[in-house]
C-alpha cells in the first residue's frame, strides 16, 4: 500500500514537472482570426480596386525560429474595411488582371516584413509586433503613382498570465488595427496621391 | 495559549503594516455638478500611447464599475474604441481639447458620437509600480511534502489621473489625480501567507467616489 502511495506521488510530481516545462515551450503557431470594426470616415468619390492575391490572403509570417503567425484572413478583413472608409467604391479582386479598366486607382498591398519581440528578448513584460506593408498604387493602365511603405506597431498591455500564443495574437491584432489607423490618417497626405488628386480634379473641371 | 497570542499579535502587526495611504487631488472649473441626461453615456478610456507602460486595464474596468448604477450608462473602453475606429487608437487618439475639437469637426465622427449617445469621456492615465523589494523566501517540494519559509515585502505605488471631457461643449470638465502607496508582505510558515496592501482598489474607490459626486445631477 505504501509503495502504491509513493508511486502515485512520484507520478504526480512528474506530471507537474511536465506541465511546468510545457508552459515554458518556446514554439508557437498563431492564427489571427479576428474581424475588425467598420471605419468611421466619409469616403471620397473614388473608385478603387484592391488586389489581394492568394499569398496575401494566406499570409504566414515567420518572425522567429519556431514562431509562425498566420494573419491572412484578418488582414483581408482589415484592409477591405479600411479602404471602404477611404473610397466610395471599392472592389476587391484576386489578381491584377481582374482589375476593371473603369476604376480610378488600383492598389496592391503586400507584407514586406514582420518582426516580433518577446519578453525573453526585451526584458519587458510585453510582446511587440511590427508589420511593414507596401502599397503599390497605380492607375488602371498600369502607370505607377507611388509605392508607399506603411509601418504598423502593436503590443500587449501586459503579458502576465497570458499564454505565448494569445499574447502574440493580441499584439498582432493591435498592429493590424494600427495599420488601418495609419492608412485612414495618412493616405491622402502622400505627396504623390495629393498630386494625383489635384490632377484628377483639374481634369474633371476642364 | 501563548502560541495563540503570538499568532494573533503577529497577524495584527502584519495587517497593520498592510495599510495604505491614498491622496486625491481634483480640479474643476466650477462647483456645479456635471449635467448628464439618462439617455446619455459616459465612456471610460485608458491612455495607450506611452512607450513603457499602458494604463492598467483592470483599473479602467474598476472605475467603470464604480460609475455603474448611476442614472446614465457607462460604455466600456473596447466598445467605444470599436465604435469610433480608428480615431481612438494609440496613434490617433486626441491628447488635448484642441485635437478633440478638430476631430469632432469631422461630420462622420460627430454623427457617430451622437448616434452612440456618448456625452462624456473619462481619460485615465497612470500605472502601478512595485519597488523596495526586501526579505527572502525559499520554497521547496519533495516526495514527503513541501513548504515555504521566510519573509518578503515590497512597496506598491499607484498613480492615476482622470480627465473628463465633454463631447458636446468640447471642454475639460474635471481633472482628478490619485496617489496611493502601501507595503505588501508574504510570510512563509509552511504555506505562504500573502498580506497584500489594497492600494489599487483604494485608488479606484477614491477616484470613483469623486467622479460619482460630479455626475450626481440628472437633467431633463
Residue A25: pLDDT band with limits 50, 70, 90: low
User: Between B207 and A2, whose confidence is greater?
Assistant: B207
- Tell me if A15 is assigned to some domain: no
Query: Which residue of chain A comes nearest to B87, CA vs CA?
Result: A181
- Tell me if A17 is assigned to some domain: no
Residue A93: how many CB atoms within 10 A of its CB?
17
- Give the pLDDT confidence of A173-199 residue by residue, as tens digits: 999 999 999 999 999 999 999 999 999
> Which contacts of A1-10 are long-range, i.e. CB under 8 A and separated by 24 or more positions?
A6/B143, A9/B143, A10/B143
- Tell me if A21 is assigned to some domain: no
**pLDDT over 70, % of chain A:** 86
- Give the pLDDT confidence of A37-78 residue by residue, as tens digits: 999 999 999 999 999 999 999 999 999 989 999 999 999 999
- Give the pLDDT confidence of A116-144 residue by residue, as tens digits: 999 888 888 889 999 999 999 999 999 99
Cell of A197: 488628386
Q: Which residue, chain included where needed, has cell 477611404?
A: A86
- For residue B31, give how far its alpha carbon lies from the nearest alpha carbon of chain A (Å): 36
- Tell me if A163 is assigned to some domain: yes
- Give the pLDDT confidence of A77-95 residue by residue, as tens digits: 999 999 999 999 999 999 9
Could you tell me the residue range of the domain that residue A83 belongs to?
A: 28-205
Number of helical H runs and strand E runs in chain B: 6, 6
Contact (CB, 8 A) for A26 and A56: no
Across the interface, whether the CB atoms of A40 and B87 are under 8 A apart is answered yes
Which CATH code fits B24-128+157-179+198-214? Answer: 3.40.50
This complex has an ipTM of 0.84
- Tell me if A44 is assigned to some domain: yes
Residue A113's pLDDT is what? 97
- Tell me if A3 is assigned to some domain: no
The C-alpha atoms of residue B28 and residue B31 are separated, in whole angstroms, by 7
- Tell me if A77 is assigned to some domain: yes
Mean pLDDT score, B17-43 = 87
A127: CATH? 3.30.160.150
Beta-strand ranges (E) seen in chain A are 28-31, 44-51, 60-64, 67-70, 87-93, 105-117, 128-138, 144-155
Residue A11's pLDDT is what? 54
Q: Is the pTM of this model over 0.90?
A: no
Selected residue of B45, B85, B113, B114 to mutate for chain A interface (largest A Cβ count, 10 A): B85
Angle between helix A72-86 and helix A164-186 axes, rounded to 10 deg: 20
Task: List C-alpha distances in Å: A137 to A83, A93, A140, B39.
Answer: 13, 15, 10, 45
Q: Does residue A18 carry a pLDDT above 70?
A: no
Across the interface, whether the CB atoms of B85 and A185 are under 8 A apart is answered no
- Tell me if A20 is assigned to some domain: no
With contacts defined as CB-CB under 8 Å, which chain B residues touch A38? Answer: 85
Number of structural domains in chain A: 1
- For residue A141, give how far its alpha carbon lies from the nearest alpha carbon of chain B (Å): 32
The C-alpha atoms of residue A199 and residue B133 are separated, in whole angstroms, by 65
Amino acid at each position: 500500500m505504501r509503495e502504491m502511495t509513493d508511486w502515485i506521488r512520484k507520478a504526480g510530481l512528474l506530471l507537474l514537472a511536465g506541465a511546468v516545462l510545457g508552459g515554458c515551450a518556446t514554439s508557437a503557431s498563431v492564427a489571427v482570426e479576428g474581424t475588425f470594426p467598420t471605419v468611421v470616415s466619409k469616403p471620397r468619390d473614388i473608385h478603387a480596386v484592391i488586389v489581394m492575391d492568394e499569398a496575401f490572403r494566406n499570409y504566414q509570417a515567420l518572425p522567429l525560429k519556431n514562431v509562425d503567425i498566420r494573419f491572412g484572413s484578418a488582414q483581408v478583413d482589415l484592409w477591405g474595411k479600411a479602404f471602404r472608409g477611404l473610397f466610395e467604391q471599392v472592389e476587391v479582386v484576386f489578381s491584377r488582371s481582374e482589375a476593371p479598366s473603369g476604376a480610378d486607382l488600383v492598389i496592391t498591398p503586400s507584407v514586406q516584413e514582420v518582426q516580433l519581440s518577446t519578453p525573453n528578448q526585451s526584458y519587458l513584460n510585453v510582446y511587440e509586433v511590427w508589420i511593414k506593408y507596401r502599397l503599390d498604387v497605380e492607375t488602371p493602365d498600369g502607370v505607377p503613382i507611388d509605392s508607399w511603405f506603411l509601418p504598423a506597431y502593436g503590443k500587449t498591455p501586459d503579458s502576465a498570465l497570458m499564454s505565448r500564443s494569445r499574447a502574440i495574437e493580441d499584439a498582432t491584432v493591435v498592429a493590424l488595427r494600427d495599420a488601418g489607423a495609419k492608412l485612414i490618417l495618412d493616405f491622402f497626405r502622400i505627396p504623390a496621391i495629393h498630386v494625383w488628386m489635384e490632377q484628377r480634379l483639374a481634369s474633371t473641371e476642364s | 495559549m501563548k502560541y495563540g497570542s503570538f499568532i494573533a499579535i503577529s497577524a495584527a502587526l502584519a495587517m497593520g503594516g498592510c495599510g495604505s495611504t491614498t491622496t486625491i487631488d481634483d480640479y474643476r472649473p466650477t462647483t456645479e455638478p456635471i449635467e448628464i441626461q439618462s439617455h446619455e453615456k459616459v465612456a471610460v478610456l485608458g491612455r495607450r500611447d506611452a512607450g513603457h507602460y499602458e494604463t492598467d486595464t483592470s483599473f479602467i474596468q474598476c472605475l467603470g464599475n464604480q460609475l455603474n448604477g448611476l442614472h446614465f450608462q457607462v460604455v466600456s473602453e473596447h466598445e467605444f474604441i470599436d465604435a469610433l475606429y480608428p480615431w481612438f487608437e494609440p496613434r490617433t487618439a486626441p491628447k488635448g481639447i484642441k485635437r478633440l475639437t478638430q476631430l469632432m469637426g469631422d461630420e462622420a465622427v460627430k454623427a457617430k458620437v451622437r448616434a452612440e449617445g456618448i456625452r462624456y469621456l473619462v481619460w485615465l492615465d497612470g500605472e502601478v509600480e512595485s519597488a523596495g523589494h526586501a526579505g527572502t523566501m525559499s520554497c521547496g517540494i519533495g516526495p514527503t511534502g513541501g513548504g515555504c519559509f521566510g519573509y518578503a515585502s515590497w512597496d506598491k505605488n499607484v498613480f492615476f489621473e482622470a480627465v473628463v471631457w465633454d463631447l458636446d461643449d468640447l471642454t475639460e470638465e474635471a481633472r482628478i489625480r490619485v496617489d496611493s502607496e502601501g507595503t505588501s508582505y508574504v510570510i512563509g510558515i509552511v504555506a505562504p501567507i500573502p498580506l497584500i496592501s489594497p492600494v489599487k482598489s483604494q485608488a479606484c474607490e477614491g477616484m470613483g467616489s469623486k467622479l460619482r459626486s460630479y455626475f450626481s445631477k440628472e437633467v431633463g
